Structure 1
């Protein structure tokens, strides 16, 4: 079964426009497939290649985060938020529903506190729409 791309443009655009310096927003499944994405104005081609690369990388990153989470005695081993500061910007990965994640690339000047707050707000508002059902090899 092919993963359907959802039309979440209006929601992702709201996040991107409410936080200056946002470059790219991707909703992905836990196995690294892009479900929905919004490229920044800086990427006139839409940035689908970027979304696919980010989604694939996130599958490994969320797996690593889950392994580290198991080291905390009172946790359940679930990743909630990963933030990576890089030369040139920031990367955010947040759990966003059952089997779904929200990833954001932002430039250096981004307000990290505002980004985290807006991502949490988005996930709280529409988390059920960001869920990704497990894929099956059985025909529908």
Structure 2
């Protein structure tokens, strides 16, 4: 996926209350961003998400089942929320919202986007002949 594939987060960015949506690698490299998210802003968000995911996975490993499996991370802050969840191929999806949102709808659209990413990044099976 490249920046030319920003369309992946376009539907998610239209959810009421969503201000920014990005896809990045787990080590903080930007892969896609919503139209209203500037490149510098998206790069900073990707770097933050990388650090937050690392901390959250350590937390899940120690106090969860030990598998470091992380479903979703939500940070509430003055002025809104940050949602981060794993996506396909060592990637994550991050959404920044305003303060008034339908969290269930944001989570639902994030799930739909993750499924779309999985289809986009999946390697097709090789033919038998």
TM-score (norm 2): 0.85
Matching residue within 27, 30, 35 for 1:34: 30
Residue 113 of structure 2 is matched in structure 1 by 122
CA distance in 2, matches of 1:124, 1:62: 19
The size of the alignment, in residue pairs, is: 122
2:10–2:35 CA contact under 8 A, matched in 1: no
TM-score, length of structure 1 as denominator length: 0.78
Are 2:7 and 1:10 equivalent residues in the alignment?
yes
Tell me, yes or no, if the aligned pair for 1:89 and 1:107 is still in contact at 8 Å.
Answer: yes
**1:92 CA drift (Å):** 0.6
- Structure 1 unaligned regions, length at least 5: 41-45, 132-140
Cα pair 1:22 1:105 within 8 Å, conserved = yes
Q: Taking structure 1 as reference, are residues 73 and 92 closer, same or farther at Cα in structure 2, changes over 3 Å only?
A: closer
More helix by share: 2
Cα distance change on mapping 1:35 and 1:67 into 2, 3 Å? same
